[in-house]
Amino acid sequence: MQIPISEIENQKKIMRTIREEFSQKIMDAAQSAKPLGYVDTYGCQQNESDSEKIRGMLIEMGCVITHDEYVADIIVINTCAIRENAENRVFGNVGDLVHTKKAKPNQLIAVCGCMAAISENVERIRNKYKHVDMVFSPADLWRFPELVYQVLSEKYPTKEDKEQSAKTRERSKKSKTLHTLPSSEYPQARIAEGLPNHRDMKIKAWLPIMHGCNNFCAYCIVPYVRGREVSREPSAILAEAKEIIDAGYKDITLLGQNVNSYNPVPSGKVCEVSEVSDFPKLIREMSKLDGEFLIRFMTSHPKDAGEELFRAMAESEKVARHIHLPFQAGNDRILKLMNRGYTSAEYLDKLAFARELMPDIVITSDVIVGYPGETDEEFEDTLRLVEKAQFDAMFTFIYSRRPHTAAAKLSDTTTREEKQIRFDKLLELQNAISAPNISISLLLRGSLCRILS
Ligand code: 5AD
Ligand code: SF4
């Protein structure tokens, strides 16, 4: 679902109002001529990209970005819910902000991101983290200015506001409560074009092409916190890519939970051959843009990474020869339980096809150990797959039970120690595989390489 442009314009108006009416009030005049905004990001690249938009909005509200939470007038914590230990770390750090707020009682604190889309977390923040002023989910990111305005107008009421709240005592009681935006229980991902964006890096730029996820892998919380998949219009993506290239960025990463299911064409519509109607066509089109740059993308789901994707990669000079293709498990029963939609043999066939077309392709992957019910023998299949796949790098995770997911209902009898042993075995195997490739400069000796300048 695309947010109407009039709604975005309204948020822009609110940002201007905050800049003109409130920024003097919220800033600590001793520290700077403008209020200081601080954004802390946990989790994936999508969150990094969302944080750049939050920074852009803070700047529009009159803030200067700081990297020191102790001096900040507005703090935003952009959270990750993918594993329980990520959540615990966030709760610990949000708890510590009670000290920064004691030192600066006018400080505003917001918690957003995937954790903020889970009602249990919102309740926990409401009850136990009273120094937090506002919470909003990824689907509501575009309404951040509206939320800041709500908090500020309650903190610094006008004369009329005061008269109004004197009439309704309820309202003044409410000023102690946490500010939230009404979202549906399972949020719908939204496309909000035209929000300000403050890119953090000089060479590397994030470019989201879609939001949300439809895959419902049994262990994964993402569809429940980021909602169903929606794709941006190709024209909007290509226009943003041009802006990024013109601004001098050299390395553009297209972002989506599963970029291979990129689909901007409404269902039932017959599309023209020339239309950018899927991901391989999008990267082919983007490669035609003028300039010296490299296109990357993540993440790819193996069930949707077809031959045409690898052909488009091989034939597009500006696409990096790297694919991150999480396999998650090497045993077919576990893959089925995980609802992944491929077998280990099909996965390996895809790698073979990619390497045949691009012998120099770099392949990285994710794997989960200790999925509920995974036996030692089934884990051995994961070791065998890693041995055969010869990944350039692999990210290993111990299964973490997530609320709402299908896997959360399965009984899990493997002990933490057994899972740790499997984790260590995988790490040892992958380290042995990666080691010979580490000295990339030695591998490249004598070859001619393209330099992006
Ligand atoms: N437990 C452990 N790892 C998980 N991942 C996703 N959900 C879970 C979970 N519940 C891993 C997957 C994914 C990566 C981003 O995080 O390997 O590819
Ligand atoms: Fe974390 Fe996944 Fe949300 Fe990214 S999308 S922030 S990895 S839960």
Domain range 204-443, CATH architecture: Alpha-Beta Horseshoe (3.80)
Q: Which of 44, 82, 255, 409 to mutate to test the pocket of ligand 1 (most atoms within 8 A of CB)?
A: 82
pLDDT average, residue stretch 270-282:
86
The residue whose C-alpha atom lies closest to atom 7 belonging to ligand 1 is: 220
The answer to whether the CB of 310 falls within 8 A of the CB of 358 is: yes
- Name the residue ranges covered by the structural domains of the chain: 5-174, 204-443
pLDDT band at residue 175 using 50, 70 and 90 as cut-offs: very low
Closest residue by Cα to atom 6, ligand 2, is 80
Q: Which tens digits make up the pLDDT trace of 156-170?
A: 887 776 776 666 555
pLDDT of residue 155: 87
Distance 285 CA to ligand 1 centre (A): 31
Q: What average pLDDT does the segment 261-289 reach?
A: 88
| Strand 230-231, strand 210-211: pairing | antiparallel
Strands (E), 5-106: 36-41, 64-65, 74-79
DSSP 175: T
pLDDT (0 to 100) of residue 147: 96
Question: Which ligand places an atom closest to the C-alpha of 402?
Answer: 1
Ligand nearest to the CA of 395: 1
Whether the per-residue pLDDT at 185 is higher than 80: the answer is no
**How does pLDDT run across 328-374, given as a tens digit for each residue?**
999 999 999 999 999 999 999 999 999 999 999 999 999 999 999 99
- Rg of the chain in Å (alpha carbons): 24
Tell which atom from ligand 2 comes closest to the C-alpha of 257: 5
Reported as type and span, the H/E element at residue 333 is helix 332-337
Distance from the alpha carbon of residue 182 to the mean position of ligand 1, in angstroms: 28
Q: Are strands 210-211 and 362-369 parallel, antiparallel or unpaired?
A: unpaired
Ligand 1 atom with the smallest distance to the CA of 405 is: 10
Dihedral angle sign, alpha carbons of residues 139, 144, 145, 146: positive
C-alpha of residue 346 to centroid of ligand 1, in Å: 21
All residues at 6 or more sequence positions from 435 whose CB lies less than 8 Å from its CB, including other chains:
none
Q: Which atom of ligand 1 is nearest to the CA of 398?
A: 2
Distance from Cα 186 to the centre of ligand 2, integer Å: 15
Nearest CA to ligand 2 atom 4: 44
**Nearest ligand 2 atom, CA 82:** 8
Assess whether pLDDT exceeds 60 at residue 289: yes
**pLDDT reading at 275 higher than 90:** no
For the stretch 236-246, pLDDT in tens is 999 999 999 99
Which residues are near ligand 1 (CB < 6 Å)?
Answer: 82-83, 219-220, 326, 328, 366, 368, 397, 399-400, 402
**Per 3-state DSSP, what percentage of the chain is helix, strand, and coil (rounded to 5)?**
45, 15, 40
Does position 52 have pLDDT exceeding 90, yes or no? yes
Question: Could you identify the atom of ligand 2 that is nearest to the CA of residue 47?
Answer: 6
Confidence of residue 444 (pLDDT cuts 50, 70, 90): confident
User: Which mutation among 42, 46, 90 tests ligand 2's pocket best, with the greatest number of atoms within 8 A of CB?
Assistant: 46
Beta strands at 230-231 and 251-255: parallel, antiparallel or unpaired: unpaired
Residue of 42, 46, 83 to test ligand 1 pocket, by largest number of atoms within 8 Å of CB: 83
pLDDT tens digits, one per residue of 55-113: 999 999 999 999 999 899 999 999 999 999 999 999 999 999 999 999 999 999 999 99
Taking the C-alpha atoms of residue 319 and residue 96, their distance in angstroms, rounded to an integer, is: 43
Protein residue closest via CA to atom 5 of ligand 2: 222
DSSP letters along 264-319, please?
-SPTTPPPPTTS--SHHHHHHHHHTSSSS-EEEEE---GGG--HHHHHHHHH-TTB
Calculate how far, in angstroms, residue 407's C-alpha sits from the geometric centre of ligand 2: 18
- Which CATH number is 5-174's, of 3.40.50.720, 3.40.50.11540, 3.40.640.10, 3.40.50.2300? 3.40.50.2300
CA distances from 377 to 76, 345, 412 (A): 45, 17, 16
Going from the Cα of 408 to the center of ligand 1, the distance in angstroms, rounded, reads 13
Tell me the CA–centroid distance for residue 83 and ligand 1, in Å.
7
Q: Which of 261, 428, 444 is nearest to 362 (CA)?
A: 444
CA of 360 to the centre of ligand 1 (A): 27
Residues in the chain: 453
Pocket test for ligand 2, best of 42, 47, 259 (most atoms within 8 A of CB): 47
220 Cα to the center of ligand 1, angstroms: 6
Q: What pLDDT is stored for residue 48 in this prediction?
A: 97
Q: In the β-sheet with 36-41, what is the strand arrangement from edge to edge?
A: 64-65, 36-41, 74-79, 108-113, 134-136
Would you call 98 helix, strand, or coil by DSSP? helix
How far, in Å, from the CA of 350 to the mean position of ligand 1? 21
pTM (2 d.p.): 0.93
Neighbouring C-alpha atoms within 13 Å toward the C-beta of 73: 24
Find out whether 330 and 344 touch, Cβ atoms under 8 Å: yes
Ligand nearest to the CA of 81: 2
- Within 10 angstroms of residue 274's Cβ, the number of other Cβ atoms is 8
